[in-house]
Copies of this chain bind each other. A is one copy, B any other.
Amino acid sequence: MNISKIAKEAGVSPATVSRVMTKNANVSEEKRLRVEKVIRKYDYRPNALAQGLIKTKTNTIGVLVADLVNPYYSSMLENCEKEIIRCGYVPIICGTLNDCELEVKFLQKMFDMRMDAVIIIGGKSDELVTDPDYANLINRLAESMPIVITGKVEGGDCYQVTLDEAEGINQSMEHLIALGHRRISLVGGMEYIKSTYDKRIRYRGILRKHGITYRERYVINSDYGIEGGYEGMEDLFKKNKTLPTAVVAINDYSALGAMRSIQERGLRIPEDISLVSFDSTYIVEAVLPRLTSISYDYECFGKKLVDTALKLVNKETLPDVQKVTPKLIVRESVRSLL
């Protein structure tokens, strides 16, 4: 079914059908009713490809996300979706399976499909050192399609809504130190990821400020999943005879793995080791003990991402960088040493 057939059956021109559908022109009551009847009869809906082609607007916001399973990302995603829907747009999600090539491919595809804007959550823009090819791609696409990212693209013509990582690590460290912890380990993450890099820099700064010796073997590399947390923790145990009294996990997804490692060794949280994580997804409330964790206002974060994208669609001017402030939520996984 298409607009011409509807027009023919209603005895009007395609233009009139279009006018009835879009509601932004006057049509005589009589013809309108006739057209509406035929539309209902066939449940006619206009072809979005044709509409998009002529209007150069598709009413879609693309959301590219590095990992669909990680609850941090799915929380972000859900909140972006809600806001996109609330604003009358259609959210189009693509997961990039933590694969850079796929990210680039899908980003291009979203451009090809003429999405009105794209939000990129995680992925290549998370890297500390921007890949110049990626920056070029972003710049090329951003000429006609606004791009909002949660990371950073050096020299990239796109907008950032990003977490204040330094503030997050700050709050968790100060909390631990205030409770008497001096041997604090940072488990998980990779140095080439900007958020992790920022955390580690600040971690050292805080230790120095409190006159605590920095121990390199308390900082453990590993990836951001459950397995990463487990292996990171195992690594920590292997590398240290003097264990830390507190561990800061890079996110609560990996904290799950860290907990398993700790508990398998018969150690208790928080009695033997305190544990703090980042993200405060549903996981922190689901495990025992509940995890003290850095929390973001996901609703607000999602809203900011989407609203930024939509303002850009409407050619409004915006700051290049917006920060989302984290907040430590104290639960049960930290013990006082005082």
Contact = CB atoms under 8 A, between A and B. Distances in A.
Size class of the contact patch on chain A: 35 or more
A69 B58 contact: no
Contacts of A92: 92-94
Interface stretch (A77-85, A162-170, A232-240, A271-279): A77-85
Interface stretch (A44-52, A172-180, A200-208): A44-52
A93 B288 CA distance: 33
Nearest to A257: B286
A81 B97 CA distance: 9
A13 interface: no
Nearest to A140: B43
Contact of A49 (B46, B49, B82): B49
A85 B105 CA distance: 11
B90 A109 contact: yes
8 contacts: A45-B108, A47-B112, A49-B52, A93-B95, A226-B285, A256-B282, A263-B288, A287-B287
A112 B48 CA distance: 5
B78 A45 contact: no
A122 to B, nearest CB: 15
Interface in A241-283: 256-257, 259-260, 263, 282-283
Given A47-B114, A260-B286, A285-B226, A85 B69 contact: no
Interface in A63-101: 68-69, 71, 74-75, 77-78, 81-82, 85, 90-95, 97
A27 interface: no
Contact of A48 (B45, B68, B102, B109): B109
B81 A77 contact: no
A190 to B, nearest CB: 21
Contacts of A52: 49
